[in-house]
């Protein structure tokens, strides 16, 4: 998604280095342009399409039009002169530093790439070594960043696949997008590729595009500049309609958008209103009630699904050079690498992580197991991510070497190869309400937090801290910071927003479920009935995946009575004979009881999380089980709760069985196992007795 890059700065900082103030989402920081700007791209057949479009446009739309066509780099262009004959608007070839104005047309010169910055056009030579032309993408991406919601993209006839990524950027910035119909285009590759992204608002022939541009040119959404980060509250009647729209979204998808930034929500709703020529929230509310398909469209648009492979390549270089070596330093060989890409969209970020990690490990002596969890709140994008199929324009920036090694050509594009796909587990997850993954080495959550309200950010960041190992790292987007949680994370790379987890001496309040109360201006409690939401097959699969890869456990109260079960705990807990009891020490397996008792005593004495490893006979085999116990911060609760997690560790690699003389080490292995268990029991007993002695001394 479009975003402003921070100024360059030293990559490494001390733990307490101050951070810059948190910026607003890109669409909210766009310049206050007095008029909309239309970026129009074409290639083969573009002259005819340009002519048809411009000849049907009036001269007073109040818009500026910037045209990009793939031209012969070695010949002088006559495009400006030809188009000037078809329109009453002035047409001129762009020059470096030229300021744009409304009701004017600007045409790209040959052999150049053109961008827009602060209302002025800038030219640079084309990259002769590029596999595909990206002239249209280049213009539209800069237009999205510079003009925000007042940017408009039009993709016309062309045999290339240029323009689709720039169009997606404009849609993410809140702009409006058009593509020419295939039957009206001389060559349909460019508009068809744009349409395939799912980000095109209008698919029309050129003359109809002109009519629609004329209609929307004076809509309030385009006629007024974006508001400041904190807009004044809506009028009471508008507030009712706004909350009713959010209520309808929550009833349909189970997502409480009150926790998102109101300015972003309002701009997204206003954009949908502009598409249907509706001017009041009441009109749009009625439209939503009548058109259920629009509910899905608004939901997906609020979530802003825009990403790309190896976005910000320098970030991945920093991961290879600094972060991956730190993660693998002094690491047990049987401990899997666990990464979580939160807000993964259509999967490019997760697959990029997998590819870079494979490249790094190819030159590393250790080859640990890799688990990459990738989640998003949208089921539609999760399905696309699982398939791993991408258009040629979506892999245009992937190097030829990576394309050959990690992708497989398929009809109309490329698919991530099986080796990489099997490393990534995609599942639907709502960061606002679903529990996090745990024991993670790296969390990547880029360009997600900027769309969350402050209350939701305060909920998510402690959750990330909880999910990371003590030596774990957090990667944020270039426009994001950890804000007030600098005590939980210290900045290790300012330029790329990489943080390391810090141990916290205090219990951090962490809410693993339930709604988030909005603290944004105008935030109002939203009462939503407990409407049952139909569970799809994909959601059921997600639940199975989450239950398989997340640790199982229980929540206990101060009396150690179980108040909540998490996952299938049958391998570790079972009802004890006699009177029914939910006391965890009564239900836990006998082999684990002493270890658990000692661990719980330690945690209750110190108030800090702790772990122990024990041996248990599970499914007829001796297994190593890690038990984690952690206080659940509940500042207002009088009955403190503990979270207990059980994780079966990977079994040690056994040498192949061989015939050996009596009395040999091979024959003695079962005895060695028994001895190991006895030694573990003795060590645990000593630790427990020592804790009892210490407790008695304190109370003496």
Is residue 641 flagged as an active site residue? Answer: no
Helix axes 262-275, 236-253, angle to 10 degrees: 90
C-alpha closest to that of 231 among 207, 204, 261, 257: 261
Helix (H, G, I), strand (E, B) or coil at 584: helix
> How crowded is residue 92: how many other Cβ atoms within 10 Å of its Cβ?
12
Q: Are 266 and 225 in contact (CB under 8 A)?
A: no
User: Longest C-alpha distance within the chain, in Å?
Assistant: 102
* Site of tokens 């262009």: 77
Structure tokens at 323: 């972060």
User: Of 437, 405, 402, 424, which is closest to residue 354 (Cα–Cα)?
Assistant: 424
> Using CA of residue 135, residue 139, residue 140, residue 141, what is the dihedral sign?
positive
Phi-psi domain of 434 (left: phi exceeds 0; alpha: psi -120 through 50; beta: other): beta
Contact (Cβ atoms closer than 8 angstroms) between residue 426 and residue 226: no
Backbone angles phi, psi at 428, to 5 degrees: -75, 135
Token digits of residue 473 = 């790292």
- Yes or no: say if 196 and 411 are a contact pair by the CB < 8 Å rule: no
Contact 98, 136 (CB under 8 A): no
- C-alpha–C-alpha distance, residues 247 and 535, integer Å: 19
Cα dist. 461→108, 184, 483 in Å?
45, 50, 9
Catalytic member of 29, 133, 142, 162: 162
Residue ranges of the alpha helices (H) in 279-374?
A: 281-290, 292-303, 313-318, 324-328, 348-361
User: Of 443, 488, 481, 486, which Cα lies nearest the Cα of 462?
Assistant: 488
Residues 368, 335 contacting (CB under 8 angstroms): yes
Distance between CA 220 and CA 211 in Å, rounded? Answer: 17
Q: Rounded distance, CA 357 to CA 360, Å?
A: 5
Instruction: Please state, in angstroms and rounded to a whole number, the distance separating the CA atoms of residues 509 and 635.
Output: 7
Closest CA to 440 of 414, 460, 416, 466: 466
Annotated catalytic residue within 70, 219, 465, 496: 70
Active site residue 283: no
| 628 in catalytic set | no
Q: By three-state DSSP, how is residue 338 classified?
A: strand
Q: Is residue 512 a contact partner of residue 432, using CB atoms and an 8 Å limit?
A: no
Cα–Cα dist 549/425, whole Å = 10
Residue with tokens 């921070």: 6
Question: What is the β-pairing status of strands 413-416 and 112-117?
Answer: unpaired
Here the tokens at position 224 are 């007024």
Please name the residue ranges forming H helices in 407-453.
418-421
Which sequence positions are flagged as catalytic?
A: 43, 70, 162
């Amino acid at each position: 998604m479009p975003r402003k890059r921070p100024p360059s700065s030293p990559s490494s900082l001390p733990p307490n280095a101050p951070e810059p103030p948190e910026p607003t989402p890109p669409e909210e920081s766009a310049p206050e342009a007095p008029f909309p700007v239309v970026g129009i791209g074409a290639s083969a057949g573009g002259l005819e399409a340009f002519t048809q479009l411009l000849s049907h446009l009036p001269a007073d739309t109040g818009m500026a039009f910037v045209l990009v066509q793939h031209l012969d780099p070695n010949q002088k262009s006559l495009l400006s002169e030809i188009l000037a004959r078809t329109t009453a608007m002035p047409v001129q070839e762009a020059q470096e530093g030229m300021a744009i104005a409304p009701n004017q047309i600007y045409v790209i010169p040959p052999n150049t790439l053109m961008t827009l910055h602060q209302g002025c056009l800038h030219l640079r030579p084309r990259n002769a070594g590029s596999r595909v032309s990206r002239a249209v993408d280049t213009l539209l991406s800069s237009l999205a960043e510079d003009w925000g919601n007042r940017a408009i993209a039009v993709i016309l006839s062309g045999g290339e696949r240029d323009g689709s990524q720039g169009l997606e950027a404009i849609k993410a910035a809140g702009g409006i997008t058009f593509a020419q119909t295939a039957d009206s285009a001389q060559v349909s590759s460019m508009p068809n590729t744009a349409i395939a992204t799912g980000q095109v608002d209008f698919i029309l022939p050129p003359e109809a595009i002109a009519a629609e541009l004329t209609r929307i040119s004076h809509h309030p959404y385009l006629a007024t500049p974006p508001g400041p980060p904190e807009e004044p509250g809506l009028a009471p009647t508008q507030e009712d309609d706004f909350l009713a729209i959010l209520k309808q979204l929550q009833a349909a998808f189970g997502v409480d958008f009150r926790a998102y930034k109101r300015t972003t929500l309002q701009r997204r709703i206003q954009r949908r209103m502009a598409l249907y020529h509706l001017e009041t929230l009441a009109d749009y509310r009625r439209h939503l009630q009548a058109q259920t398909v629009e509910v899905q469209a608004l939901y997906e648009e609020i979530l802003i699904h825009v990403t790309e492979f190896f976005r910000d390549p320098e970030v991945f270089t920093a991961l290879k050079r600094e972060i991956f070596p730190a993660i693998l330093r002094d690491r047990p060989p049987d401990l899997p690498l666990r990464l979580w890409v939160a807000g993964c969209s259509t999967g490019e970020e997760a697959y990029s992580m997998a590819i870079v990690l494979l490249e790094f490990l190819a030159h590393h002596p250790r080859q640990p197991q890799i688990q990459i969890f990738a989640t998003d709140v949208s089921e539609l994008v999760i399905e696309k991510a699982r398939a791993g199929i991408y258009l040629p324009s979506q892999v245009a920036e992937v190097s030829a070497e990576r394309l050959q090694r990690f992708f497989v050509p398929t009809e109309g594009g490329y698919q991530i190869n099986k080796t990489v796909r099997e490393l990534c587990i995609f599942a639907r997850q709502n960061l606002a309400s679903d529990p996090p993954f745990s024991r993670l080495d790296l969390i990547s959550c880029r360009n997600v937090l900027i769309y969350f309200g402050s209350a939701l950010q305060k909920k998510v960041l402690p959750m990330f801290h909880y999910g990371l190992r003590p030596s774990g790292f957090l990667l944020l987007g270039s426009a994001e910071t950890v804000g007030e949680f600098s005590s939980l994370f210290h900045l290790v790379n300012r330029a790329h927003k990489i943080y390391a987890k810090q141990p916290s001496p205090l219990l951090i309040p962490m809410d693993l479920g339930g709604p988030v109360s909005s603290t944004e201006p105008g935030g109002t409690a939203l009462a939503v009935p407990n409407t049952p939401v139909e569970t799809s097959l994909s959601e059921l699969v997600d639940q199975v995946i989450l239950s398989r890869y997340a640790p199982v456990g229980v929540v206990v109260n101060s009396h150690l009575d179980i108040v909540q079960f998490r996952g299938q705990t049958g391998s570790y807990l079972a009802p004890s004979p006699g009177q029914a009891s939910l006391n965890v020490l009564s239900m836990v397996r006998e082999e684990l009881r002493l270890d658990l008792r000692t661990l719980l005593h330690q945690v209750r004495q110190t108030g800090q999380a702790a772990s122990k490893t024990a041996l248990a006979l599970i499914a007829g085999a001796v297994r190593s089980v890690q038990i984690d116990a952690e206080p659940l911060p509940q500042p207002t609760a009088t009955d403190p709760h503990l979270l207990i997690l059980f994780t079966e560790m990977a079994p040690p690699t056994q040498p192949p069985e061989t015939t050996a003389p009596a009395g040999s080490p091979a024959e003695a292995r079962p005895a060695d196992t028994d001895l190991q268990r006895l030694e573990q029991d003795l060590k645990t007993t000593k630790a427990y007795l020592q804790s009892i002695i210490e407790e008695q001394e304190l109370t003496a």
